[in-house]
Amino acid sequence: MQRLVPLLPVFFVILWHTGFLGARGTMPHGPALTTLSIRFALVLLLLAVLAWLGRAVWPGSWAQRGHLMVAGGLLHGVYLGGVFWAMEHGMSGATASLIVGLQPMLTALLALWLLAERSSVTLWAGLILGLAGTILVVVFDAGQIGSGRSAIAIVLALIGIAVGSVYQKKFVTAFDWRTGAVWQFAGSLVVTLPFAGLFEQRMPTPTAEYMFWLAWLILILSVAAVALLNTLLQRQSAINVASYFYLIPALVAVTSWFIFGDDLRWTTWIGILLASFGVWLATRPRA
């Protein structure tokens, strides 16, 4: 099992990037925030059953439960809610990827300030190269901002995941991934459900495509990928974990080309190499 630990970031990036594909697959059949609320509620119930069957240890204090809810509300409710809302209201996936691709830089600044994590020239060189690669991947296809509400939503998503990563690293101690995620998704539901009721007046149409992508978002993203994210945040620095998100837009571009037939430019491959090298620099062991 220990031999798989170095591969956890690889598994995480591969799984996490499919969230953008799930957003594209569900949106034609149902409103974004309602879909997210259904997803969070079902994940909460599924993980509660898994925790009960596995006799997992629940957070022992209301303080830790509250911190988990705040972290989950930021990492999933605000981040995913912002991304889904922006894409539903006219923002292209490339533009959304580019804007939330700024997250590692924002997380690094917050981590240096609030967590006193160590910095180095190599770390910042890696972050800057990763950012350059991310921009190169999507800049030629970006530009579809959508409405003003889309721009506000994607900025909130960026802030949500950056602040949420640092908040969880600072305030949440080690926890069982099943029981901790129950409280995290409870916090996410508190964020999305009121807005879904306020702004969305219809339920999704349960087509085969919708049900497939909803199941994918629940099992692959909200269970497997979130378990990996929580594990990485407990094992590594917030800056290291954030740097992996530079690889997401590149993988989204490649997978969208393969599944949806989107254009794939030569700049994508250069961007992937730059982002990958940047992540390696940012996460390599430092003396």
Is position 18 within any domain? no
Give tens-digit pLDDT for 49-94.
Answer: 999 999 999 998 899 999 999 999 999 999 999 999 988 888 776 6
**What is the percent of the chain where pLDDT is above 70?**
85
Total number of domains in the chain: 1
Mean pLDDT for all residues in the chain: 83
Is position 47 within any domain? yes
- Give the closest residue to 18 by CA, choosing from 82, 88, 80, 60: 80
Q: Band of the pLDDT at 165, cuts 50, 70, 90?
A: confident
What confidence score (pLDDT) does residue 32 get? Answer: 93
Is position 6 within any domain? no
What confidence score (pLDDT) does residue 247 get? Answer: 77
Residue 177 reports pLDDT greater than 70: yes
**How confident is the model over 131-158, as a mean pLDDT?**
73
What confidence score (pLDDT) does residue 183 get? Answer: 95
**How confident is the model over 184-190, as a mean pLDDT?**
96
CA distance 51 to 38: 20
Is position 49 within any domain? yes
Is position 45 within any domain? yes
What confidence score (pLDDT) does residue 5 get? Answer: 66
Q: Report which of residues 204 and 234 the model is more confident about.
A: 204
What confidence score (pLDDT) does residue 270 get? Answer: 76
Is position 138 within any domain? yes
What distance, in Å, lies between the first and last C-alpha atoms of the chain? 27
Is position 24 within any domain? no
Q: Which residues contact 57 (CB under 8 A, 6 or more apart)?
A: 176, 179
What is the domain extent for residue 58?
Answer: 30-283
Q: Which two tokens stand for residue 128?
A: 């800057």
- Give the closest residue to 66 by CA, choosing from 238, 187, 227: 187
Q: Which two tokens stand for residue 277?
A: 């090298």
**What is the percent of the chain where pLDDT is above 90?**
34
Q: Is 0.85 surpassed by the pTM of this model?
A: no
Residue 3 reports pLDDT greater than 70: no
Is position 240 within any domain? yes
Sign of CA dihedral 79, 84, 89, 94: positive
